[in-house]
Amino acid sequence: MYLCYVLLFIPPLLGLIFSIIECLWVSRIKINGPEDKVDKMEDGLVQVDKMKEIAFYIAEGANAFLTKEYQYLTVFIIVFSVLLALFVSYFTAISFVLGCLTSILCGYIGMKIAVYANVRTTNETWKSLDKGFKVTLNAGTVMGFSLVSFSIIALGLLIYVYKTFFFKGAILESSVYKVIAGFGLGGSSIALFSRVGGGIYTKAADVGADLSGKNEYGIPEDDIRNPACIADNVGDNVGDMAGMGADLFGSLAESLCAALVIGSSVLSIKEGTGANINHCIMYPLTFCSASIIVSMITFFIVTKSVKVTEKKDVEKTLKYLLFVSTILQSIAIVVIGYFSFPLSVKYNVLKEIQRWKIIVPALVGLWSGLIIGFTTEFYTSYSFSPVQEIANTQKVSAATGIIYGLSLGYKSTFIPIICLSATLGISYGLCDTYGIALAAVGMLSTLCICLTIDAYGPISDNAGGIAEMAGLPSEVRARTDILDAAGNTTAAIGKGFAIGSAALVAFALFGAYASSANLRHVNILNPWVIIGLLIGAMLPYLFSALTMKSVAIAANSVLNECLAQFPLILADKQKPDYDKCIKISTDASLRQMIVPGLISVFSPLIIGGLMGKYATAGLLVGIILSGIQLAFSSTNSGGAWDNAKKYIESGALGTEHCKGSSAHKNSVIGDTVGDPLKDTSGPSLNILIKLSAITSLVFAGVIANNFTSRRGGPIWL
């Protein structure tokens, strides 16, 4: 048993040490620029001083958002933990609070490293492309390794403390894994506020900056005269760093909780095998912990073997990281599975399952995530034909580009859904619902590298914005554009990966809910199941409508503020008031996230309370099936419109259709429409899917025992 805990805790502790080392490396970089190339600007400020000033504004804006968000979160955590303590158990409430605090800590670390590294990336990119790339990537490792390490340490400590001090004995030990489901609920609850609030913030500022500048006055969004330019850069960190980090932290926590809950209830071993049941149950945690070591090895192999001198080297390095980590993690899953399980284990007492049938689902999930990620890239990168075709249609009008983009989004669901279906079929066929949970954990077992690459995107984007606003030479902006272009590609891969993992996690949680609520069969002809399905299928559309409208309301406020300031700014009568746009974006995003948040958390509880456990099961299936399709199509349509604009800006359609042309203006409209789809409503659906499932799991006993009749319908019938 203690060997299991050694294997569990040593890798994440090494991961935290690695994160600290990388953070110190980034902190030692001085912001001074190349001494022979630093010039004075028109207002007398040296370019380096201007860089520092802009970075300070971005950091202050990010801190303002986090401070206000944490005030809202404190109220939510207190209220919901009291509800859990009253209706579920005190231990579940403690798990919930720990999950919340761990998620908040991870989001805070991600945000701080992003606003700390962005200006240093600009500074080093001024010197060379290779130096700038190293800063961005090394800063990303702080986010990736610290998040995974903290999540495994927190969950492992929770299990150890509960087993050692509160749940002694074989019978009580099996209850531990049910109460730790609160940890996943806490992580996903914080992810909801970070993803939805951050998504509304970033797109309100982005759309406001785009419309007020480009379409009204011909001023780029990263022009220092644009009052929304700082808020726009803050939004990249709020939505793409804290939001994405919290989202994937929630996925990891929930998948592990689902695997532990199901594994503890169905696995047992034959006497005389010499195997330890704890090693079997903890298998998902141990191979996830080992992924930290795998990711370190991957990072050193790839970064030492590839030198970045041009654009193709950047993308090649990032993709190598994904491929190498997937290959090495496959080996780790097999080796750890070999030592964790005997040749066969008992499943539900009566059934026997061979060891390889437990290992294969984790491998299938791992490779499925990679395929889904690269499929998303195909549909959203301008290196491939789908986006190029959208750009060509935008020569004629914005409407044709939007129609084509919608078509692309719908079509892009085909391969990921087939891939997920195959993963579910293979995993369930080999190992029942436990196989699905293992596939979900397997897909997320390269999270260190995936988060490192995801964090790379907003840092490089901010670096480009700082270079533009500080008036650095054109060759610096050209280099940051190379870094940013690669970041857009990896961001698309990351979003596809996040949606795919959310789908598998939700199915795994559904299996855990069915087990906890004692649902042996869900009859689709049962009217309560059908009612749940209908309501569940509708909720992702309602949720998307609310988040899209929230972006429109907040963006309109930012736009009006910018339009009020521009005449005086352009007449040199006043300087841009960045703080006003930051305050508008912060207040609007946090205020507008409340209703979508309440829908995600309370819809399973309301349906369960009114209609019973079978209606709740139908609700979950409806949300999952509808939400996955909508998330893929929204995210891919938005990403395709964004990169079609970048394709036109690159001059690929010729000089008559370059930046400033009618084709470019049409593409800006498509990009503006797609922004809230790809960065707000699409990614936020991940949280709706997972949070509704984990909430149902945590309250499964309450719904089944107190609100369901003997026939499975509502208690009031």
Instruction: Express each pLDDT in 248-291 by its tens digit.
Output: 888 888 888 888 888 887 766 665 555 567 777 888 888 899 99
User: Which runs of consecutive H residues, i.e. helices, occur in 517-612?
Assistant: 527-570, 578-592, 594-611
Confidence of residue 97 (pLDDT cuts 50, 70, 90): very high
Provide the token pair at 233: 């850069």
Higher pLDDT, 197 or 310: 197
565-579, 661-675, 682-696: range with lowest mean pLDDT: 565-579
- Cβ distance 222 to 576 under 8 Å? no
Confidence of residue 43 (pLDDT cuts 50, 70, 90): very low
pLDDT at position 452 over 70: yes
pLDDT at 174 (0 to 100): 64
pLDDT at 416 (0 to 100): 93
How far is 231 from 235, CA to CA, in rounded Å? 6
Residue whose entry in the numeric block shows the structure tokens 């699905």: 436
pLDDT at 184 (0 to 100): 87
**Averaged pLDDT, 614-639:** 92
* Domain boundaries, given as residue ranges, for the chain: 2-27+65-270+294-706
pLDDT at position 44 over 50: no
How far is 151 from 266, CA to CA, in rounded Å? 25
pLDDT at 71 (0 to 100): 87
Residue type, 358: I
How far is 683 from 496, CA to CA, in rounded Å? 9
**Averaged pLDDT, 665-673:** 87
Task: Please measure the distance between the N-terminal and C-terminal CA atoms of the chain and give it in whole angstroms.
Answer: 48
pLDDT at 542 (0 to 100): 94
Confidence of residue 477 (pLDDT cuts 50, 70, 90): confident
pLDDT at 216 (0 to 100): 60
How far is 634 from 160, CA to CA, in rounded Å? 41
Confidence of residue 331 (pLDDT cuts 50, 70, 90): very high
State what percent of residues in the chain have pLDDT above 90: 21
- pLDDT tens for each residue of 539-586: 999 999 998 988 888 888 888 888 888 888 877 778 888 888 888 888
pLDDT at 621 (0 to 100): 93
Mean pLDDT of the chain: 85
74-78, 173-177, 303-307, 359-363: range with lowest mean pLDDT: 173-177
State what percent of residues in the chain have pLDDT above 70: 94
How far is 168 from 451, CA to CA, in rounded Å? 37
677 dihedral zone (left: phi>0; alpha: psi -120 to 50; beta): alpha
Among 23, 134, 31, 54, which Cα is nearest to 462's?
54
Q: Residue 216, SS3? A: coil
Q: Residue 517, SS3? A: coil
pLDDT at position 42 over 70: no
State phi, psi for 28 to the nearest 5 degrees. -75, -10
Confidence of residue 530 (pLDDT cuts 50, 70, 90): very high
pLDDT at position 595 over 50: yes
Strand order in the sheet with 267-268: 267-268, 344-347, 351-354
pLDDT at 400 (0 to 100): 92
423-432, 483-492, 510-519, 554-563: range with lowest mean pLDDT: 483-492
Higher pLDDT, 621 or 574: 621
State which H helix or E strand residue 268 sits in.
Answer: strand 267-268
- pLDDT tens for each residue of 23-36: 899 888 888 877 66
**Averaged pLDDT, 82-89:** 89
pLDDT at position 218 over 80: no
Higher pLDDT, 692 or 169: 692
Provide the token pair at 639: 């990403």
Give the highest mean pLDDT range of 200-204, 476-480, 537-541: 537-541
Provide the token pair at 551: 């972006």
What's the sign of the alpha-carbon dihedral 518, 524, 527, 531? positive
> What are the distances in angstroms from CA 388 to CA 206, 319, 488, 636?
23, 22, 16, 14
pLDDT at 275 (0 to 100): 58
pLDDT at position 3 over 70: no
Task: Please list the residues that pair with 268 across neighbouring strands.
Answer: 346
How far is 125 from 117, CA to CA, in rounded Å? 12
How far is 587 from 583, CA to CA, in rounded Å? 6
147-151, 287-291, 576-580, 614-618: range with lowest mean pLDDT: 576-580
Among 549, 550, 575, 540, which Cα is nearest to 682's?
540
- Cβ distance 693 to 509 under 8 Å? yes
